[in-house]
Structure 1
Amino acid sequence: MATVTGKLIGGIPKQTRLEIELVDVTGTRAVGYAAGDEAEIVRPVPVAPQEDGTWSADLIPNSLIQADAGDTVWRVQEGRALDGTPVVTYIVVPEAGGPHWVGDLRVDLGDAPTGGSTIVYVPGPAGDDGLNGLSAYEVWLVAGNTGTEADYLASLVGPSGTAEAQEYTDTAVAAEAVRADGAYDPAGAAAAAQSAAVTAAAADATEKADAARVAAVSTAASDATAKAGNAQNAAVSTAATSAAALYLPSAIQTVDAYFTGATPSTPRFFGHRGGGMVRPEHTLVGYRATAAMGFPLEVSVNVDASGELWCLHDLTLDRTTYNTGALNTYTTEEVGQAVLTNGRVLLGPGWADQRMVPLRQVLDEFLGKVPILLEPKGNDAVVPCQNLLDTSYPHAPRSVIWKAHVGTLSLPWAKSRGYRTWVYLDSNTPDATMNDKDPNVDYWGVSTTFTDQRITQVVARGKPVFAWPVYRRSQVTRLTGLGVVGIMSSDPRYVSTVLPQRTFSRWDLGIKESGGTPTLDYDQSYALKYELGADVGWVSINALPNQSYGLGTYSPIVGSAAGYRIAFDMKYKVPPGSTVHGGYYFGKASDDPYRFTTANTSGGYHVVMRASGDMQLYRHTAGVTTGTQIGSTIATAAPVADTAMSFQIDVTPTTVELRRTDGTGWTTGPIADTTYRGGYHGLSNGSITDLTTRPFWRNLVITQL
């Protein structure tokens, strides 16, 4: 055996596996036997480098190896280098001398085992650089070989006589001649220069290797960190997708599916506050009815003192329940057992009080069935809401839109989880703020109170725009004309259609009808008031001045070719001054608000029933404050306190006629007027100035003539 010592060329010691095995000069692994008393198979030698990169191995001298393939060399292969390419060297181990040091003699092997330029290491005294003043050929001779330089080179590359070997031999001889001339320069200058160059090159190589190693480690660390982060995100996304597949059926209504094909001409509708102008807002009964009609739910949440999230628009209980104070001062048990919504005040006494509903119940029942537009209203509700979604509803991003004010800080969280986001604006939100938020916004939100110009500017940014709050069909017409594609409505059933829902009233049930439009939304002062006791079935408008109430439930009126009739009863519990009147409006082409002595957006007709008994019809032109009487004033019996009067309005293609039918002959007769033939109508307080003298109505019936 002979001890051979060397040092790694490029690998990191702890990460590099060194393999030394016997091969023939073609690079093919050789089957060799060591000479001795008994033939011994020459096996590969595994080597573990030291921390400084040095290594040592006991190898059988090549001259003692017998192999069918002929001459052999030892192949030393570093399993990993800095650039990722294995480094292969070849060693011829002599019998005498040692230990042997693998030096740095580089010889062009041409078509040698690895092809191209390969490094061949030759033996020399321990600690030597491998040259020791000898050429590779001289070292070969020292090792006990005989022959010419051509014989030495042929022993490395294979039999002579081929064009490739000859070409290689000529090149190698020329290179070695140059080296020999330099090595034996009589003046010694070349040798000194060579020694200095070798020393400088070694130092430079060491410095560059260290720098390269540091840079490689730093680059590898950064790359590993980035790849780990990407892998984590990919794993989270994959896990969420897998979880969604487990939790949800394949036929769910996702956000993206709901909006497929949405355009201003075919907008998508949401149940604002769960349909809160028709059912108690943010209650289970409201959510169920809205979802049953296929509309997505807008859900606002706040948190109680125990950390439970409840569906509630306001931070306090004052407006929507019989209790007062901030929700976050009540415990979960107190809210669940003692707090009831006061929907009867806004929506009629026929409603039963409803309990508040926790967000968990809404998500458990509706997630995946309809999209949910979810907004934590209070700052203290944001994190509990995020934690609930992350922990219990990993599939939520498919069906939940994260709703937030433009000033929120929660958008990066929502986008990192894959949620669509709807961000609503203030009328004066600057473009700079919108630009800053834009990367995390999928849909913009505008209020119906914004100007046409501002809405158009938001639409022009190129992302879908939703508008709120919408409770009239005329608002839908305006908004879609401006490019809005999402309609947030408290009465989506009404605004999403253009058909009447009923032709006769059931006001005795005391329940607000879809399509009922007071002057102000979500305000009990302007809501239709349903009477009780002896007055059950009667309704009134308990607001001043000149208020009206649209009856979209019965609009637009669909008449026959001959026209239609509106019939109703009216009374004053306390008659007003003789010239003061209440009445009824009709003929409007739109359901925008109608008010007497006010410039309205669209025109129509107005019934006047004065306390004196005078009965009249007025035509009210759009944009004009006062109306114009058509036909004659009809003197009828003065209204009697708390006594019903009955009326009929007949509208034909060419005439309009008003009759009081609780007496005889009280009619304006057919008045030739075709100015307005719209199908929208409603109740009007007319000119009353004292709510105790307001008019009451009952028994509305629409029929075709």
Structure 2
Amino acid sequence: MPFPEGVPSVPVRYSVTSPAGGGPGQGTLQLMPTVPAIRIPGADGVFTGGGTYQFIDGQLDNGSGEQVRLLPTNVDGANPAVWAWLGIESVNGAQPRHFYFAVDADAEEVDLGAVQQLAPDLTQYLAVPGESAYDAWLRAGNDGTEEEFLASLVGPPGDITAANDYTDEQLDQALAAEVARANAAYDPAGAAGAAQAAAIATASSDAAAKASTAQSNAVAAAATAAASLYLPKALLTVDAFMAQPGTKVFGHRGAGMVCPEHTEASYDYAIAHGIQAMELSVNVDSEGQLWCLHDLTLDRTTYSTGALNTYPSTGVAQRVLTNGRVLHGQGWTDQPMVPLRRMLDKYLGKVVLFVEPKGNDAVVPLQTLLSTSYPHAPASVIWKAHVGTSFTWPKNNGYRTWCYIDDASSDAVLDGKDAQVDYWGVSTSMSSARRQQIVARGKPVFSWPVYRRSQRAALEADGIVGLMSSDPVYVRGTTAQATASRWDQQVKESGGTPQTDYNENAALKFSDTDGWVSINRANGTYGLGRYCPIVSGAGGYRIQIDMKYDQINSGDLNVHGGLYLGKTSDDPYQFGTINPSDGYHLILRHNGVLRLYRHVTTQTGGISLGATDISTDAPVAGQPMTIQVDVTPTTIEARRLGNAAWTTGPIADTTNRGGYFGLTNGSISDVAARPFWRNLAITQL
């Protein structure tokens, strides 16, 4: 926008790169001051500034061929004196990124991609004053200094001589006359006096009642004013979030399939990676303090046992630790329980929060806490609850509501809740047909728990607009995050897709040394979404990985484990079953036989590729072997390194070229004889 005369400005530039494969990014950058308006000395009116600008070929463009210019944040004499710019960047459909920054008046040009970003709570502001009385006096046609203006407000002097001639006797007479008049008007004796006294008493009582009402109204007004002062600093409200285009991704239990669920570490992980909404499940201890916890008891997620509402607050804070290492790897340190207040203080107003009391005894404490300490919560909190609970309080108090339903919930049940529901919730286990029926009711529908990209695709096809995801960073993405494993860290990676979520037996197991991993489950499999979809070179790609058996099944040397690959999606795979999508699987038997198979959705057994079994040396318990799979545009080949003859040779097959793969225990039902893997590497050919 053109700047008024006398208002300083600084040219700014900003370049962005597409997050998908590089190259110039496309999208918008919204720039706005963190205060409603700024008054500049010597300039008429107030300045608001900012706007929404396009990225053209990766460069910020103001639409008129001129460079974007911004008001400096350190103009001498500006009111307010302390404020900042807020930038909201939306590039190539990715989640918007928010950042605060200052602009120096002495700068010749500012690169917004290199500015020092400020903390979101930097800016406080004072109301911009209106026109001064002196300014109005001048505008009315007067002329003179401010001292002359002040002098004009003082009236002419009185007659000092007349005042000095007023004698003491005259003063006494005047006082006596005033006393007599007052006594006549307010004589307490007689009926008139009694009526006057009663009127005074009534007036006094009425005044006290009105004062009490005024005090209550003042307290309520102060709370509303406090909320209005806070909300302009909020990065995101529910309505603003829902107005964003595309599918919304929320953090389920923070990021419960990547970090210990409902811990501060889990919430921080989701928010640090740009997730703009997350779930806070709430339960209460024996003293009424609210904690972030999904279950009523501590048994599943901590080293403690029993109901949370039997523990004192100090005991929970000092003695209860989560056991996330069981599900997420022993590289994790034990995490403490997190009080709800800490998360509200940290994230309320900055992201959208789904808040749900899981136990009946937590409902009233949660309502009280939000009403008394967080009057601004309805703007950025969604009240989450099961269809069988009441939504009267949240709707009466201005909250948006998410009602999640059972797979068998009838239309009659939903009709009874419809008036108090803003968003419906359906599970990933619900049939596609039923999900579409819920969508057809006309309100936005969110689904849970989502931890596979294939789930996302199916839900979006049904019209679902929000995903409550336990691995939100992976589910939101579309590209591989790595090409080589770091299993030596002994922590679960984003994109790991076990056959069942939140299940200890299905989780990837980490060895204490040397970076080995395994699946401690009969016929278990584990998707490696972190490395998917594999990006092929012109000649294809290679998967290389070390593999070993710590125990050989001497009773049946035909049992096998290995890899599955070539799938177009991350849906679950299991040997010997009907699978949702086609692909390949490589097996290495306990007798050393190496084979490649193609699996299809119409039969349980694999289709052998190549003419014969490839006999390699029998595995030795505890000794590593290295296997490779090369996938070219026209062939597929598997080999075990160590002997040039240990290869299937290139097999002409172009059937499956999907980029999703994973680990499989194959036909092994005795977990003691399961395979172990390490040192995964993906290479372009």
Do these two structures clear the TM 0.5 threshold for a shared fold by scoring above it?
yes
| Secondary structure of residue in 1 paired with 2:501 | coil
1:634 to partner: Cα distance: 0.6
Q: Note the 1:8-27 alignment, pairs <5 A.
A: none
Alignment of 1:641 with 2:621, yes or no, is yes
Partner residue, 2:547: 570
Task: Tell me how far apart the structure 2 counterparts of residues 237 and 695 of structure 1 sit (CA, whole Å).
Answer: 66
Alignment of 1:614 with 2:597, yes or no, is no
Partner residue, 2:517: 539
Contact 1:602 1:623 in 2 (8 A): no
Partner residue, 1:472: 452
Amino acid at match of 1:493: V
Alignment of 1:343 with 2:324, yes or no, is yes
* Stretch moving more, 240-249 or 496-505: 240-249
Alignment of 1:288 with 2:277, yes or no, is no
Partner residue, 2:427: 447
Alignment of 1:463 with 2:447, yes or no, is no
| Secondary structure of residue in 1 paired with 2:369 | helix
Structure 1's 573 and 232: CA in aligned 2 closer, same or farther, altered over 3 A? farther
Contact 1:601 1:623 in 2 (8 A): no
Task: Tell me how far apart the structure 2 counterparts of residues 694 and 547 of structure 1 sit (CA, whole Å).
Answer: 9
Alignment of 1:436 with 2:416, yes or no, is yes
| Residue from 611, 626, 637 that aligns with 2:605 | 626
Amino acid at match of 1:554: Y
Partner residue, 1:554: 531
Partner residue, 2:366: 385
Partner residue, 1:588: 567
Partner residue, 1:601: 580
Amino acid at match of 2:451: Y
Structure 1's 504 and 305: CA in aligned 2 closer, same or farther, altered over 3 A? same
Unaligned stretches of 5+ in structure 1? 1-230
Task: Tell me how far apart the structure 2 counterparts of residues 394 and 671 of structure 1 sit (CA, whole Å).
Answer: 67
CA deviation profile, 1:182-223 (whole Å, cap 9, x unmatched): xxxxxxxxxxxxxxxxxxxxxxxxxxxxxxxxxxxxxxxxxx
Task: Tell me how far apart the structure 2 counterparts of residues 276 and 635 of structure 1 sit (CA, whole Å).
Answer: 43
Task: Tell me how far apart the structure 1 counterparts of residues 638 and 679 of structure 2 sit (CA, whole Å).
Answer: 17
- When Rg is computed on C-alpha atoms for both structures, the one with the higher figure is 1
Task: Tell me how far apart the structure 2 counterparts of residues 380 and 282 of structure 1 sit (CA, whole Å).
Answer: 19
CA deviation profile, 1:47-83 (whole Å, cap 9, x unmatched): xxxxxxxxxxxxxxxxxxxxxxxxxxxxxxxxxxxxx
Alignment of 1:662 with 2:642, yes or no, is yes
Structure 1's 234 and 458: CA in aligned 2 closer, same or farther, altered over 3 A? farther
Task: Tell me how far apart the structure 2 counterparts of residues 238 and 460 of structure 1 sit (CA, whole Å).
Answer: 42
| Secondary structure of residue in 2 paired with 1:355 | coil
Amino acid at match of 1:538: W
CA RMSD in angstroms, aligned pairs only:
1.8
* Stretch moving more, 480-489 or 290-299: 290-299
| Secondary structure of residue in 2 paired with 1:619 | strand
| Secondary structure of residue in 2 paired with 1:666 | coil
Q: Note the 1:479-494 alignment, pairs <5 A.
A: 479-494=459-474
Partner residue, 1:312: 293
Task: Tell me how far apart the structure 1 counterparts of residues 298 and 593 of structure 2 sit (CA, whole Å).
Answer: 48
| Secondary structure of residue in 1 paired with 2:253 | helix
TM-score, structure 2 as length reference: 0.67
Task: Tell me how far apart the structure 1 counterparts of residues 499 and 541 of structure 2 sit (CA, whole Å).
Answer: 26
Q: Note the 1:45-56 alignment, pairs <5 A.
A: none
Equivalent residues, number: 468
Contact 1:273 1:299 in 2 (8 A): yes
Task: Tell me how far apart the structure 2 counterparts of residues 447 and 232 of structure 1 sit (CA, whole Å).
Answer: 49
Contact 1:294 1:370 in 2 (8 A): no
Task: Tell me how far apart the structure 2 counterparts of residues 538 and 293 of structure 1 sit (CA, whole Å).
Answer: 28
| Residue from 366, 376, 379 that aligns with 2:357 | 376
Task: Tell me how far apart the structure 2 counterparts of residues 369 and 629 of structure 1 sit (CA, whole Å).
Answer: 55
| Secondary structure of residue in 1 paired with 2:617 | coil
Alignment of 1:355 with 2:336, yes or no, is yes
| Residue from 300, 315, 338 that aligns with 2:281 | 300
Amino acid at match of 2:295: D
1:247 to partner: Cα distance: 2.3
Alignment of 1:247 with 2:230, yes or no, is yes
Q: Note the 1:95-114 alignment, pairs <5 A.
A: none
| Residue from 314, 337, 341 that aligns with 1:333 | 314
| Residue from 558, 572, 583 that aligns with 1:579 | 558
1:234 to partner: Cα distance: 12
| Secondary structure of residue in 1 paired with 2:343 | helix
1:238 to partner: Cα distance: 7.3
* Stretch moving more, 243-252 or 550-559: 243-252
Structure 1's 251 and 336: CA in aligned 2 closer, same or farther, altered over 3 A? closer
Partner residue, 2:129: none
TM-score, structure 1 as length reference: 0.65
1:242 to partner: Cα distance: 3.1
| Residue from 528, 531, 534 that aligns with 2:508 | 528
1:235 to partner: Cα distance: 10
CA deviation profile, 1:282-302 (whole Å, cap 9, x unmatched): 000111111122221111010
| Secondary structure of residue in 2 paired with 1:374 | strand
Task: Tell me how far apart the structure 2 counterparts of residues 396 and 588 of structure 1 sit (CA, whole Å).
Answer: 45
Structure 1's 370 and 700: CA in aligned 2 closer, same or farther, altered over 3 A? same
Task: Tell me how far apart the structure 2 counterparts of residues 663 and 353 of structure 1 sit (CA, whole Å).
Answer: 45
1:480 to partner: Cα distance: 0.5
Partner residue, 1:694: 674
Structure 1's 524 and 651: CA in aligned 2 closer, same or farther, altered over 3 A? same
| Secondary structure of residue in 2 paired with 1:467 | strand
1:662 to partner: Cα distance: 2.8
Contact 1:557 1:680 in 2 (8 A): yes
CA deviation profile, 1:118-165 (whole Å, cap 9, x unmatched): xxxxxxxxxxxxxxxxxxxxxxxxxxxxxxxxxxxxxxxxxxxxxxxx
| Residue from 241, 246, 257 that aligns with 1:258 | 241
Task: Tell me how far apart the structure 2 counterparts of residues 490 and 571 of structure 1 sit (CA, whole Å).
Answer: 31
Contact 1:526 1:541 in 2 (8 A): yes
| Secondary structure of residue in 2 paired with 1:245 | helix
CA deviation profile, 1:20-43 (whole Å, cap 9, x unmatched): xxxxxxxxxxxxxxxxxxxxxxxx
CA deviation profile, 1:300-354 (whole Å, cap 9, x unmatched): 0100011110000000001100011111111101100000000000000100000
- Structure 1: 4+ residue segments shifted above 4 A: 231-241
Unaligned stretches of 5+ in structure 2? 1-213
Amino acid at match of 2:437: Q
